[in-house]
Amino acid sequence: MKTEIDLRPREYMLAWYKRRRRPLLVLIAVIAAASILLCTALCEKHLERSAAANRRLRQANALLAEEAAPLMRLEADIAILKEKAALEEALRRQQIPWSDILRRAEAALPEGLYLSSFSAGGQGRLTITGRGQAMPQVASFSQALSALGYFSSVTVSRIEREAEGSYRFVFEVELMIAGGDD
């Protein structure tokens, strides 16, 4: 049992509780303000450190880019050389031996025309010399050489009439396939 009676009015008690809470609220406000200031200072310090680190990284990246530039050029050159090597290998696999080309050229000879010599020049050039009885045979052989598909240009560079009535002709042909001077 309670023997004491509180004679303080209700308004007094409410004012007393408010006065008692006020220092606690002030303390909480001061702590909050201090923590905000501390967080702001820490964030600014972190931003300064991050900016300095970013500057150092940019400088290091610039130095690495300067050092890597020759390597990048070398890698590009290596890639080009690999492509060329692959192309050369593909051309080698497609390359037809001279003997096959010459055999097919000889097989394309019309009746009454015969070949007297072949000579290979550099860069896929081939000179074919022969004799025949009539000019239409030479024209027919020229068309046959073109039809073989091995030559990009077939030109009759010289035709001479010989004493016995036959014609001596010289063809200059250019091979379409690579490696003609091998």
The structure's pTM equals: 0.43
Mean pLDDT of the chain: 80
Instruction: Choose one of 35, 70, 94: the last residue of a domain.
Output: 94
- pLDDT value at position 105? 79
- Over residues 119-132, the pLDDT tens digits come to 777 776 777 888 87
Residue type, 60: A
How many domains, the chain?
A: 2
Instruction: Choose one of 68, 94, 120: the last residue of a domain.
Output: 94
Residue 176 pLDDT level (bands cut at 50, 70, 90): low
- Over residues 58-77, the pLDDT tens digits come to 999 999 999 989 999 999 99
The residue ranking higher by pLDDT, 72 or 111, is 72
Same domain, 87 and 131: no
- pLDDT value at position 178? 40
Q: Judge whether 1 lies within some domain.
A: no
- pLDDT value at position 138? 79
Q: Which of 148, 100, 106 is nearest to 128 (CA)?
A: 106
Q: Judge whether 49 lies within some domain.
A: yes
- pLDDT value at position 179? 41
Same domain, 85 and 105: no
The answer to whether the beta carbons of residues 131 and 169 sit under 8 Å apart is: yes
- Over residues 132-153, the pLDDT tens digits come to 777 788 788 888 888 877 777 7
